[in-house]
């Protein structure tokens, strides 16, 4: 019996890879303290895959068994002609691709919400770490929260399901997390909190701000009733339902809890590097294969090589001396 395409994307530990996170740019209009340095040096544009090249590698991944694609950045909506890629990929929905979505900081969401819906996107993740305009500007080093709130309004009006992501940190976040829960659940949105990840030098001391979500959950349980929830969005979050609001609260714990056993994801950066694991430096370069031949034979060989090299788990740690686990910034792969 001939193998089905999806059977080709199985790693050495028996995990079926069905989820691609595709970074379309390393650029962003914000400079969040946990993600980027204030003065970033971005990649030359000629090194980035073109829209057509991004589509080519994504469609090959669909042929091999990927059923969910999330576009990331940097900030994906700052990429020129990004809606062309959504339109091209959207045509695969119902034909191998089950979901097309994105993670965004929300600043440009008001402009693109209706076009996203027209191209088959049904839900988006919006990064929002605070509701305080002053703290938002401090965390992002330049952002205006009004643009994000307008983006959320426009997304919901257009019919998109919105989930909020917030990075948990010691300090102001502890006094605001309850407001984030009320805000999200009051508007029918899930909220997921995420531990800081040691990726790239940002000029921010993660050792001083790192907050274990185990500790955060114990704190929340003093004020809220958290009921285990079996909901799965296809990612690493583990959910509870907050009894008082009826809404879902997710926890992503890359440092304090190992979620690698069920990992179904790989990531491709905007220059064509395929990373089998976000928390490891190993990767396979695809760009030369894409640009050197119209045949997908070599490209497919490299993709399968990367899947075969996917490690059992990551090795994140945050040290007192400030040394990061990886020199690669989170913006290169979109988290």
Q: What are the pLDDT digits (tens) for 188-216?
A: 999 999 988 765 555 556 666 788 888 89
Q: Is there a binding annotation on residue 232?
A: no
Per-residue pLDDT band at 102 (split at 50, 70, 90): very high
The domain limits of the chain are 17-332
Domain 17-332 has CATH 3.60.70.12: no
Cis peptide before 88 (omega within 30 of 0): no
Q: What is the mean pLDDT of residues 238-264?
A: 85
Q: Is there a binding annotation on residue 111?
A: no
Q: Is there a binding annotation on residue 27?
A: no
Q: Is there a binding annotation on residue 74?
A: yes
Q: What is the pLDDT of residue 24?
A: 97
Q: What is the pLDDT of residue 206?
A: 60
Q: Is there a binding annotation on residue 263?
A: yes
Spatial strand order in the sheet of 68-72:
226-229, 238-242, 248-252, 190-195, 161-168, 123-127, 99-104, 68-72, 19-23, 265-268, 273-275, 284-285
Q: Is there a binding annotation on residue 284?
A: no
Q: Is there a binding annotation on residue 257?
A: no
Does the pLDDT at position 327 exceed 90?
no
Q: Is there a binding annotation on residue 197?
A: yes
Q: Is there a binding annotation on residue 163?
A: yes
CA 225 to each of CA 39, 147, 150, 296: distance values in angstroms, whole numbers, following the listed order: 42, 32, 31, 52
CA 27 to each of CA 34, 35, 42, 67: distance values in angstroms, whole numbers, following the listed order: 15, 12, 7, 26
Q: Is there a binding annotation on residue 260?
A: yes
Q: Is there a binding annotation on residue 253?
A: no
Q: What is the mean pLDDT of residues 100-104?
A: 98
Render pLDDT for 124-171 as a digit per residue (tens, 0 to 9). Answer: 999 999 999 999 999 999 999 999 999 999 999 999 999 999 999 888
Does the pLDDT at position 26 exceed 80?
yes
Q: Is there a binding annotation on residue 272?
A: no
Q: What is the pLDDT of residue 329?
A: 52
Per-residue pLDDT band at 172 (split at 50, 70, 90): confident
């Amino acid at each position: 019996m001939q193998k089905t395409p999806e059977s080709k994307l199985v790693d050495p530990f028996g995990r079926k890879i069905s989820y691609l996170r595709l970074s379309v740019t390393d650029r962003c209009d914000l400079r969040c303290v946990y993600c980027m340095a204030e003065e970033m040096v971005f990649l030359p544009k000629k090194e980035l895959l073109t829209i057509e090249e991004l589509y080519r590698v994504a469609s090959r991944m669909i042929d091999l068994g990927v059923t969910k694609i999330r576009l990331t950045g940097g900030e994906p909506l700052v990429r020129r002609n990004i809606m062309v890629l959504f339109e091209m990929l959207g045509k695969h929905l119902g034909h191998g691709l089950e979901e097309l979505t994105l993670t965004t900081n929300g600043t440009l969401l008001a402009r693109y919400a209706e076009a996203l819906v027209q191209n088959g996107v049904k839900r988006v993740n919006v990064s929002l770490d605070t509701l305080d305009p002053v703290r938002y500007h401090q965390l992002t080093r330049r952002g205006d929260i009004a643009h994000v709130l307008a983006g959320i309004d426009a997304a919901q009006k257009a019919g998109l399901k919105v989930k909020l992501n917030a990075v948990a940190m010691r300090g102001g976040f502890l006094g605001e997390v309850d407001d984030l829960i009320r805000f999200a659940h009051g508007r029918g949105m899930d909220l997921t909190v995420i531990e800081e990840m040691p990726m790239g030098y940002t000029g921010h001391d993660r050792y001083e701000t790192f907050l274990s979500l185990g500790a955060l959950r114990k704190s929340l349980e003093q004020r809220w009733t958290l009921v285990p929830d079996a909901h799965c969005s296809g990612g690493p979050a583990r959910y509870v339902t907050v009894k008082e609001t009826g809404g879902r609260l997710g926890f992503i714990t890359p440092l304090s809890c190992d979620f690698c056993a069920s990992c179904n994801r790989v990531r491709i950066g905007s220059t064509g590097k395929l990373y089998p694991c976000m928390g490891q430096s190993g990767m396979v370069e695809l760009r030369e294969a894409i640009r050197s031949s119209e045949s997908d034979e070599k490209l497919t060989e490299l993709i399968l090589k990367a899947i075969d090299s996917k490690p059992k788990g990551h090795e994140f740690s945050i040290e007192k001396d400030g040394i990061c686990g990886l020199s690669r910034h989170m913006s290169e792969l979109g988290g």
